[in-house]
Amino acid sequence: MSSEEGLSSTITDWLFINSWWLLLPFIMLLVVAAFIVAFVLLLYMISPLISPKPLKLNGAHVVVTGGSSGIGKSIAVECYKQGAFITLVARDEAKLLQAKKEVEKFAINDKQVVLCISVDVSSDYSQVESVIKQAQEKLGPVDMLVNCAGLAISGKFEDVEVDRFKSERRLNSQKLMEVNYLGSVYPTRAVITTMKERRMGRIMFVSSQAGQIGLFGYTAYSPSKFALRGLAESLQMEIKPYNIYVTVAYPPDTETPGLAEENKTKPLETKLISETSGVCQPDQVAKIIVRDAVQGNFNSSVGPDGYMLSALTCGMSPVTSITEGLQQIVTMGLFRTIALFYLGSFDSIVRRCMIQREQSKAADKRE
Ligand SMILES: *[C@@H]1O[C@H](CO)[C@@H](O)[C@H](O)[C@H]1NC(C)=O
Ligand SMILES: *[C@@H]1O[C@H](CO)[C@@H](O)[C@H](O)[C@H]1NC(C)=O
């Protein structure tokens, strides 16, 4: 054997041993693929366990807080159209009676009833408990609770009265954490024991897209809507074994009296930013929310923006169907990329408005 041959065979050996390493990425890919396949199979195996049975609205008792106007009233109509008995809860008696008349137009049988209860769901728990008791005595145990009482204010952080973050003693004042958060805690607390005993029920929290993303002008509003998500996730884990399902709805800007009120103080930045996603009709929003609550979906969103926000913010929230879980896994990275562009454009809106304000201030001074 010449020394040349010896050298080339050493090189071949060397290549052979080392080409092993070249295969490593492929082996790793195979392992990852095997894991994904196993994971999907596992999800399929447990899917019958995680998909709840739809609730029958026909003959069910649905309580809607904030039911005298806006999305709440539309949800009541939607449920009434499907044969439910409705309890409308709100503060203003005159508005309640008006809403009752509107809802009653959509009866599908002559047994259906709309009950009105005038109470502030956010101020005193014992009061809320006693009105829920009254409603249950008249129309039977609550099958679905819709927590829709809420209000929105917007304004720059330093412009929002400090009291408004929590509450004000004045009557009819705007108290965000109390109305939007405690106003959902109290009614839920009042129905939960009976629901657990009956091992059935649906609880719906109406949050907002501002409960998924904090935007300019919502330093008081967003936290009160984010709070609902924490409540919903914790509660769902507690009551799932009792066959009770929680839905959190994240509607976009919706054409309601609440929005008209909010429009009055909306800063220019907030207007420009919310214009990127448009305004919805309450009926359209209510249809989607009711469908999701009936199916027991944890998340309910409207439109493509809503879809993207829900996928982006699903975090550790419960999953209600196999397709939902897979969609979340597949879309998250892509949606984050798109979200970065949105964030960039929002930041530039805010900066542009600041520069314009400063320029007009300077111009005023010169005059
Ligand atoms: C609120 O303002 C938006 C524009 O920012 C407008 O599209 C919408 O119709 C207004 N809604 C109400 C109820 O005033
Ligand atoms: C959220 O709910 C909507 C329907 O309301 C659904 O189309 C969407 O897939 C859900 N998104 C996620 C991420 O679960």
Flag whether pLDDT at 174 surpasses 80: no
Atom of ligand 2 nearest to the CA of 310: 13
Would you mind telling me the total number of residues written for the chain in this entry? Answer: 367
- Identify the active-site residue in 186, 221, 245, 250: 221
Q: What confidence tens digit (pLDDT) does each residue in 47-91 have? A: 656 678 899 999 999 999 999 999 999 999 999 999 999 999 999
- The answer to whether residue 342 is catalytic is no
Give the per-residue pLDDT at 151: 85
Atom of ligand 1 nearest to the CA of 275: 5
Q: What confidence tens digit (pLDDT) does each residue in 229-274 have? A: 999 999 999 999 999 999 999 999 999 998 988 888 899 999 999 8
- The answer to whether residue 56 is catalytic is no
Would you state the structure tokens that stand for residue 103, as one six-digit string? Answer: 């809802």
DSSP SS3 for 314: coil
What is the domain partition of the chain in residue ranges? 61-331
Q: Which of 33, 139, 157 is nearest to 86 (CA)?
A: 139
| Residue, of 364 and 248, whose pLDDT is higher | 248
- Identify the active-site residue in 68, 184, 207, 274: 207
- Tell me the H-state helices in 158-203: 162-166, 176, 183-198
Atom of ligand 1 nearest to the CA of 256: 13
Whole-angstrom Cα distance, residue 308 to residue 305? 5
Q: Residue 120, Cα to own-chain centre: how many angstroms?
A: 23
- The answer to whether residue 138 is catalytic is no
- Ligand 2 interacting residues, C-beta cut-off 6 A: 288, 292, 299-301, 307, 310-311, 314, 324, 327-328
Flag whether pLDDT at 167 surpasses 90: no
DSSP code string of 146-161: EE-------B-TTTS-
In which band, very low, low, confident or very high, does the pLDDT at 168 lie, cut at 50, 70 and 90?
very low
In which band, very low, low, confident or very high, does the pLDDT at 1 lie, cut at 50, 70 and 90?
very low
CB of residue 278 inside a 6 A radius of ligand 1? no
- Tell me the H-state helices in the chain: 3-50, 70-81, 93-104, 125-139, 162-166, 176, 183-198, 221-239, 257-263, 268-275, 282-295, 303-312, 322-366
Burial label, 15 (beta-carbon count in 10 A; 0-12, 13-18, 19+): exposed
Q: What confidence tens digit (pLDDT) does each residue in 333-349 have? A: 999 999 999 999 999 99
Flag whether pLDDT at 3 surpasses 80: no
CATH number for 61-331 (one of 1.10.10.10, 2.60.40.3080, 3.40.630.30, 3.40.50.720): it is 3.40.50.720
Nearest residue by C-alpha to atom 9 in ligand 1: 255
Burial 178-206 (b: 16+ CB within 10 A, else e): bbbbbbbbbbbebbbebbbeeebbbbbbb
